C-alpha cells in the first residue's frame, strides 16, 4: 500500500499536518501501526486506539479509528476498561516512555500481570518530549537532558524485561530504522491473544538529539542501525561484543490464559449459574 493510500484509508486527513518536529520518529511508528493493522486485516470499525498524554500520544488524533485520548500515564487503565466492557474490540495502546513507565508505571505492570489482550506500542524516545526534554525513566544513564545538564545518574529501566517479569506474554523491541521488522512485530502483537508489548526505539532530534551530540535525526537512525542487534545474531555473540548494544526482535512469547476470557469463563459464567 502506498503512503498516499495508507494515509487516505487510515488517517483523519483533516487533522493533518501533524504537530511533530522535523526528524521526529513518531510518524514512522504511527505509519507502522497503520500498516500492521492493515496487514493483520483488522476491522477498522472494531478497533479502539487509546493513548495518554505526550507527543507520541497525539498519534491517535490523526488516526481514523475510534480513539480515546486520555490523561498522562493512564492509557492502560482506560484501555483495560474498554477491553473489559467489550472484549470483542481490538484495543491498541499508543504511549510514550514517560507516559507508560514514569507516571503510569503502575498500570503497565498490572496490565501485564493480568495478561489482558491489549497491544501496547511504546514510543521510546528516551525523553519527555512534550514538556521540553526532561530525562525519563528510559533515558540511558549518563545521557544529557534539560534536567540533567551534567548527565543523568539514574539507572534506566529495561522495559521489555520489566513487562516480561510482570507477566506480559508477547514482548518485542523494534526501532524506527528497522521499519519492516517493526510492522511485523506489531502484526504479531495484534495476533497474540494476551498482553502484547512492543517497545520502539525512536528519535527525538529536538530534545534528546541536540543534548546528546546527534547533529541530526539521520545520525540518530544510524545509531539505531549500529547498536541494534537482532535476537538471533545476539545468541552467537559474546557479552563483550554485546556491550553497549540493545536487542531487537521478539524477546519473549508465551501462551497463557487471557484475562477477559478467563473472566467470562470463571466469573461471569459462575455468577450466572451456567457452570459450577
Ligand X SMILES: Cc1ncc(C[n+]2csc(CCOP(=O)(O)OP(=O)(O)O)c2C)c(N)n1
Binding flag, residue 18, other proteins (CB under 8 A): no
* Nearer to ligand X (CB atom), residue 59 or residue 118: 59
Question: CB of residue 237 vs ligand X: minimum separation in angstroms?
Answer: 30
Could you give the CA distance from residue 217 to residue 223 in angstroms, rounded to a whole number? Answer: 10
Given 6, 18, 147, 253, the residue binding other proteins (CB under 8 A): 147
Binding flag, residue 103, other proteins (CB under 8 A): yes
Binding region for other proteins (CB under 8 A) out of 89-97, 99-107, 209-217, 234-242: 99-107
Could you give the CA distance from residue 155 to residue 274 in angstroms, rounded to a whole number? Answer: 51
Q: Which residues pair with 172 in a beta bridge?
A: 198, 250
Q: Which residues pair with 121 in a beta bridge?
A: 94, 198
- At residue 83's C-alpha, the angle toward residues 80 and 85, to 5°, is 105
Binding flag, residue 163, other proteins (CB under 8 A): no
CA proximity to 151, closest of 140, 159, 161: 140
Given 23, 25, 96, 189, the residue binding ligand X (CB under 6 A): 96
Could you give the CA distance from residue 14 to residue 229 in angstroms, rounded to a whole number? Answer: 39
Given 70, 90, 136, 181, the residue binding ligand X (CB under 6 A): 136
Question: What is the full DSSP assignment across 83-95?
Answer: HHH-TTSEEEEEE
Beta-carbon contacts of residue 181 (< 8 Å; ≥ 6 apart): 174, 248, 249
x/- letters, 19..58, toward other proteins (CB under 8 A)? ----------------------------------x-----
Question: CB of residue 137 vs other proteins: minimum separation in angstroms?
Answer: 7
Q: Which residue has the closest beta carbon to ligand X? A: 96
Given 42, 99, 145, 186, the residue binding ligand X (CB under 6 A): 99
CA distances 256 to 8, 20, 24, 53, 192, Å, are 37, 38, 36, 31, 10
* Nearer to ligand X (CB atom), residue 42 or residue 121: 121
Residue count, binding to ligand X (CB under 6 A) = 17
Query: In the complex, which residues of this chain contact ligand X (CB under 6 A)?
Result: 53-56, 72, 96-99, 123, 125, 127-131, 136
Amino acid at each position: 500500500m502506498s503512503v498516499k493510500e495508507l494515509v487516505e484509508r487510515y488517517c483523519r486527513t483533516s487533522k493533518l499536518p501533524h504537530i511533530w518536529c522535523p526528524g521526529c520518529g513518531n510518524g514512522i511508528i504511527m505509519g507502522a501501526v497503520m500498516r500492521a493493522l492493515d496487514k493483520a486485516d483488522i476491522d477498522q470499525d472494531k478497533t479502539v486506539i487509546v493513548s495518554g498524554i505526550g507527543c507520541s500520544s497525539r498519534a491517535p488524533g490523526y488516526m481514523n479509528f475510534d480513539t480515546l485520548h486520555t490523561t498522562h500515564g493512564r492509557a492502560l487503565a482506560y484501555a483495560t476498561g474498554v477491553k473489559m466492557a467489550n472484549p470483542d474490540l481490538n484495543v491498541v495502546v499508543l504511549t510514550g516512555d514517560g507516559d507508560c513507565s514514569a507516571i503510569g508505571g503502575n498500570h503497565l505492570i498490572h496490565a501485564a500481570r493480568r495478561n489482558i489482550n491489549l497491544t501496547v506500542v511504546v514510543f521510546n524516545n528516551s525523553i519527555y518530549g512534550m514538556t521540553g526534554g526532561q530525562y525519563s525513566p528510559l533515558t540511558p544513564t549518563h545521557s544529557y537532558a534539560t534536567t540533567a545538564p551534567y548527565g543523568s545518574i539514574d539507572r534506566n529501566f529495561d522495559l521489555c524485561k520489566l513487562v516480561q517479569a510482570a507477566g506480559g506474554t508477547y514482548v518485542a523491541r523494534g526501532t524506527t530504522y528497522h521499519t519492516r521488522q517493526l510492522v511485523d512485530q506489531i502484526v504479531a502483537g495484534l495476533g497474540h491473544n494476551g498482553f502484547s508489548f512492543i517497545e520502539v526505539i525512536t528519535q527525538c532530534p529536538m530534545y534528546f538529539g541536540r543534548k546528546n551530540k546527534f547533529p541530526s535525526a539521520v545520525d540518530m537512525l544510524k545509531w539505531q542501525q549500529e547498536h541494534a542487534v537482532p535476537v538471533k545474531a545476539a545468541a552467537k555473540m559474546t557479552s563483550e561484543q554485546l556491550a553497549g548494544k540493545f536487542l531487537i526482535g521478539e524477546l519473549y512469547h508465551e501462551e497463557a490464559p487471557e484475562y477477559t476470557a478467563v473472566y467470562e469463563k470463571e466469573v461471569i459464567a459462575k455468577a450466572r449459574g451456567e457452570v459450577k
